Amino acid sequence: MYNSWIIRGGLVIDTEPQPAMLGKVDVLVREGRIAAIGPALSADGVEEIDATGMIVLPGFVDSHRHTWQATLRAVAPDTTLGHYAAYVLGELAPRLSAEDVHTGIAAGVRECLDGGITTMLDWSHVQFTPEHTDAAIDALTASGVRAVFGFCYGGADQSLMAPEGRRVQERLTGDLLTIAIAAFGPEFDGPDRAAAEWRLARELDVPVSVHMGGLGAESAANGLAFLDEHGFMSHRIAYIHANHYTDEHLKRIADSGGSVSVSPFSEMALAIGYPITGRARALGIPASLSADAVTSGPGDMFGMMRAAHALERGRPEGAGLGFTTRDALRMATIEGAEVVGLADVTGSLRIGKQADLQLLRTDTPSMAGSQDMIGAVVLSADTSTVDTVLVAGRVLKRAGQLVTT
């Protein structure tokens, strides 16, 4: 059931078209949507949330998260992408039951909500059976989070991919869950699988999220050439770990309407490559942030924003000094919503959008004395400052405590 609220007296930050302070104003939520923003709003019969001394802003959007791995946290803290794939995906994942998958996703979503992430693309490459898939969907549904379920078929019989994809799409009823094809091909699997994944995405009319560009320059070039040759680049594609694309490659992605998901921490820690944050955004490519896998890194968006900010500004010869904390916050909110295909739904405080919101305390030691509030959100806040979280107007965290769903 959607809820209606008046959030009173907070310092409100919107993120569209660019992050900006709106001042100390009220936010009115009616039936789960943002109805009005302004001073001293009238809201008879609507329950009040006192936001005095807090920052009110859109919830974060994580554009690529292997949520099921929450129960394997820090299992591979000092490793490389190759070892992660061999150990976590090759050895540990096949041992997990459907119940294990449900537990992992439930735990991972709680982590997201606790840290102000209200929307996520759950890149679920643990779907070995329909039971595993159903367990993942059930966990997302029960959590109350807004999620794009990244369907990555894991069965041995590839001919069953399309019918299983159709079944999954039919299961995702309601306003909070949608589907994308989480594609293994063409770089992590062969061209036949990749072609089947893109054909299924076209049939279902859903976007593709794919790990491409992170396995070296030759693989990146060959993978993009495959998409181009088969006419797949015109589809809605979010490229994950696009680190090894040249500027010419990125221009082709920009011209085709593609976007990128940047995992600044894991890309550096797993030796995937230097994040392309500034290079992509300079070409007009929507660029988002993601935690990737808590097996090898942190899972909170504050850490991702800080990593992106530091790494971009630290590029040689000052090449990234134009990147600001406002850019980092935009990537974590409205730009992330654009990458996962939900920019008309969430990511900013535009009137009529879903009320996916977070309230941050400013009276904690890490936030006390903050002058530039947007800068403080990116550089000083952390999960302990997240006081209240709403998804579609439903309160899922309040007074620093997750609400049981």
- 42: domain CATH number is 2.30.40.10
Is 358 contained in some domain? yes
Q: Which residues pair with 120 in a beta bridge?
A: 62, 147
Residue 404, pLDDT above cutoff 80: no
In this structure, the answer to whether residues 42 and 128 fall within a common structural domain is: no
How far apart (Å, rounded) are the C-alpha atoms in residues 145 and 402? 12
Domain annotation covers residue 274: yes
- Assess whether 96 and 55 both reside in one domain: no
Q: Which of 342, 390, 326, 345 lies closest to 28 in space, CA to CA?
A: 390
Q: Is 353 inside any structural domain?
A: yes
For residues 162 and 311, state if they share a domain. Answer: yes
91-149, pLDDT tens digit by residue? 999 999 999 999 999 999 999 999 999 999 999 999 999 999 999 999 999 999 999 99
State the number of CA atoms in the 13 A half-sphere of 296 facing the CB: 26
DSSP-derived secondary structure for 89-110 = IIIIGGG--HHHHHHHHHHHHH
Predicted pLDDT of residue 1: 42
Same domain, residue pair 55 and 73: no
- Token output for 320: 């990234």
Question: Are residues 310 and 360 both part of a single domain?
Answer: no
Q: What is the β-pairing status of strands 54-58 and 5-14?
A: parallel
Q: Within a 10 A sphere around the Cβ of 310, how many other Cβ atoms?
A: 14
Write out the two tokens for 45.
């019969």
Q: Cα 267 from chain centroid?
A: 16
Q: What is the pLDDT of residue 191?
A: 92
Q: Where does a domain end: 284, 308, 339?
A: 339
Residue 344 inside a domain? The answer is no
- CATH code of the domain containing 211: 3.20.20.140
| 20-36 pLDDT tens trace | 999 999 999 999 999 99
Name the pLDDT band for 192 (thresholds 50, 70, 90): very high
395 belongs to a structural domain: yes
Would residue 162 be called left, alpha or beta, if left means φ above 0 and alpha means ψ between -120 and 50 degrees?
alpha
Is the omega angle on the peptide bond into residue 94 within 30 degrees of 0, that is, cis?
no
- The radius of gyration of the chain from alpha carbons, rounded to an integer in Å, stands at 20
Is 271 in a helix, a strand, or coil? coil
| Residue type at position 348 | S
Alpha carbon dihedral 257, 201, 85, 148, in 10-degree steps, equals 80
Q: What percentage of the chain carries pLDDT values higher than 70?
A: 99
42 and 140 belong to one structural domain? no
Q: Do 199 and 314 belong together in one domain?
A: yes
- In-domain check, residue 288: yes
Long-range CB contact pairs, 73-77, < 8 A, 24+ = 73/294, 73/295, 73/299, 74/294, 74/295, 74/296, 75/295, 76/295, 76/296, 77/296
Nearest residue to 354 via CA among 365, 343, 339: 343
Q: 217 and 137: one domain?
A: yes
What average pLDDT does the segment 333-348 reach? 98
- The number of folded domains in the chain is 2
Please check whether residue 122 lies inside any domain of the structure: yes
- CA separation for the pair 269, 389 (Å, rounded): 30
Which residue, 286, 309, 339, sits at the end of a domain?
Answer: 339
Confidence of residue 2 (pLDDT cuts 50, 70, 90): low
Residue 190 is predicted with a pLDDT of 86
Residues 116 and 131 in one domain: yes
- Going by the DSSP 8-state scheme, the letter that residue 295 receives in this structure is T
From the CB of residue 383, how many other CB atoms can be counted at a distance below 10 Å?
A: 17
Q: List pLDDT tens digits, range 52-95.
A: 999 999 999 999 999 999 999 999 999 999 999 999 999 999 99
**Tokens describing residue 338:** 């654009």
Is the same domain home to 278 and 186?
Answer: yes
| Residues 269, 380 share a domain | no
User: What's the rounded Cα separation, in Å, for the pair 142 and 404?
Assistant: 10
Exposed e or buried b per residue across 114-127, where buried means at least 16 C-beta atoms within 10 angstroms of its C-beta: bbbbbbbbbbbbbb
Q: In this model, does residue 405 exceed pLDDT 80?
A: no
Q: In angstroms, rounded to a whole number, what is the distance separating the alpha carbons of residues 281 and 262? A: 11
pTM across the whole model: 0.97
For residue range 346-360, what is the model confidence (pLDDT) as tens digits?
Answer: 999 999 999 999 999
Q: Which of 299, 320, 339 is the last residue of a domain?
A: 339
Residue 233 neighbours by CB under 8 Å, 6+ apart: 224, 227, 252, 253, 256, 258
Q: Is the dihedral of CA 369, 21, 28, 392 positive or negative?
A: negative
Q: Which residue range(s) make up the domain with 65?
A: 60-339
For the chain, the average pLDDT equals 96
Residues 356 and 334 in one domain: no
Integer angstrom CA distances of residue 20 from 91, 357, 372: 46, 16, 11
Q: Alpha-carbon torsion 70, 72, 76, 77, what sign?
A: positive
Residue 44 banded pLDDT, cuts 50, 70, 90: confident
Whether 329 is covered by a domain: the verdict is yes
DSSP states along 339-370: HTT-TTTSSS--TTSB--EEEEES-STTTTT-
